[in-house]
């Protein structure tokens, strides 16, 4: 993964979009030496969201199996 400063990301944003969108590169953006954001492809974002959905579903299924009363995802304790 490539790491760049926020100021460089502002200057080179169109290039970064091409690197991420077409080159499937992931770019970590730092401000004052601390990571604050990542630029990832839409494909990566969709995979992350699918994993989050799968985890939430598994938590809810487990909570339902362990509870005979009313169950919420918040109360499932993931």
Q: What CATH code is carried by the domain that includes residue 24?
A: 3.40.1620
Using the 8-state DSSP alphabet, how is residue 76 labeled? G
pTM for the complete prediction? 0.68
Question: What pLDDT was estimated at residue 4?
Answer: 97
Is the dihedral angle over the CA atoms 52, 53, 58, 59 positive or is it negative? positive
pLDDT in the model for residue 56: 82
Judgement on whether residues 9 and 32 belong to the same structural domain of the protein: yes
Asked whether the beta carbons of 59 and 66 are under 8 A apart, the reply is: no
Are residues 17 and 30 part of one domain?
yes
The predicted pLDDT at position 74 comes to 67
Q: How far apart are CA 12 and CA 6, in angstroms?
A: 10
Question: What is the number of structural domains in the chain?
Answer: 2
At residue 16, the pLDDT reads 96
- Digits of tens for pLDDT over the chain (78 positions)? 999 999 999 999 999 999 999 998 999 999 999 999 999 999 999 999 999 988 888 887 887 777 766 666 666 555
* Domain enclosing residue 27, as ranges: 1-40
Q: Which uninterrupted H or E stretch holds 2?
A: strand 2-5
Answer yes or no: do 77 and 65 share one domain.
yes
Same domain, 16 and 34: yes
pLDDT for 14: 96
Are residue 51 and residue 74 in the same domain, yes or no? yes
Same-domain pairing of 1 and 36: yes
Helix ranges restricted to H, the chain? 6-11, 13-23, 42-66
């Amino acid at each position: 993964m490539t790491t760049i400063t926020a100021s460089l990301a502002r200057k080179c944003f169109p290039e970064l979009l091409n690197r991420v969108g077409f080159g499937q590169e992931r770019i970590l953006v730092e401000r004052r030496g601390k990571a604050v954001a990542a630029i990832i492809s839409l494909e990566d974002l969709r995979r992350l969201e699918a994993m989050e959905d799968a985890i939430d579903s598994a938590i809810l299924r487990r909570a339902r199996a362990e509870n005979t009363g009313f169950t919420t995802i918040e109360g499932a304790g993931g």
